[in-house]
Amino acid sequence: MAAKFGHKLLGTFLMFLVLQPFAATSRTLKLASLQIIEQGQHRGCGVPDIIGQPISDDIEGRHGMFRLLDNYKFFNGELKWTNFPVTYGFLPNSRIPSGLDSQAVIDSVTAAFKVWEAAYPKFTFKKIDPGNTANIKIEFTWLYGRYYGFGYAPPNGLLQLDYVHTNWSTGSTPAWNQLDLQSGVMHEIGHTLGLDHSTNHSAVMNDTLIFGTIKRVLAPDDKDGITKLYT
């Protein structure tokens, strides 16, 4: 009887060892690995984003890069476009990631610009092809680490999206392991318009985008920031 009980206890213990790491990994993935971070390399001096945590305002202050206004931030000098329409387009050497339909990608990008266009009466955007003469030049390219995108402030306007390690979605609802393209593009457009990261977690301009979720509607903080910048 004791031996039988011992075997049963041993079996339970082994099952715990097998299942426990999976459960822990699942929790870790949900909190960390299922977040892809975006690095805005602004004017050649980017500050690395921290997974699951906004960039410290104190760090930014010491670098003298940003001026804090409520939850949103501007670039030092309040960089912005002064002439409209602002043009955008894909660079000729940009490659669409495998598995994505090129028209669906264009539709997602167009939809992202339309959301920003509706945010402020002055805004008008025009797509041109090829985009090498556009104000906002878009390209899919290799980005290091786990960064999904880079956005450069005016007058640079370069908008880069990861080509290699990001599993993009152009559908209405991304899968649990996919990053919504329109949401990511909306964030990067915000940088190319002159906004930096917001400490408001519901804002499009927050520094973290989570797999399987969408941020296709500007939060009040996004609208307040862009209105303040362009008024």
Pairing between β-strand 66-69 and β-strand 72-75 as defined by DSSP bridges: antiparallel
Average pLDDT along the chain: 76
* Sign of the Cα pseudo-torsion (76, 132, 151, 109, in order): positive
Does the residue 3 lie in any domain? no
Which residues, including other chains, have CB under 8 Å from residue 178's CB and lie 6 or more apart? 167, 168, 169, 211, 212
Would residue 5 count as lying in a domain? no
State the pLDDT at residue 145: 77
Q: Looking at the domain assignment, is residue 28 inside a domain?
A: no
- Could you tell me the pLDDT band of residue 1, with boundaries at 50, 70 and 90? low
In a domain, 200, yes or no: yes
Is 5 or 49 the better-scoring residue by pLDDT?
5
Classify residue 2: in a domain, yes or no: no
Instruction: Please report which confidence band the pLDDT of residue 22 belongs to, taking 50, 70 and 90 as the band edges.
Output: very low
Ranked by mean pLDDT, the top range of 1-10, 66-75, 113-122, 200-209 is 113-122
Question: Is residue 108 pLDDT above 90, yes or no?
Answer: yes
Residue 161 within a domain? yes
Q: Is residue 217 part of a domain?
A: yes
Residue 65 maps to which CATH number?
A: 3.40.390.10
- Structural domains counted in the chain: 1
188 is catalytic: yes
Q: What is the pLDDT of residue 156?
A: 93
Q: What is the mean pLDDT of residues 17-45?
A: 33
Cα distance between residue 142 and residue 22, in whole Å: 31
Residue with the bigger pLDDT between 201 and 61: it is: 201
Is residue 216 pLDDT above 50, yes or no?
yes
Per-residue pLDDT of 122-177, as tens digits, reads 999 999 999 999 999 999 999 887 789 999 999 999 999 999 999 999 999 999 99
For residue 18, tell me if it sits in a domain: no
Reported as a single tens digit per residue, the pLDDT across 41-76 is: 443 223 333 223 222 222 232 223 333 346 888 888
Q: What is the mean pLDDT of residues 199-208?
A: 91
Catalytic-labelled residue, pool 38, 60, 139, 188: 188
Query: Which residue range forms the structural domain that includes residue 117?
Result: 36-41+53-230
Residue among 55, 34, 32 nearest 197 (CA): 55
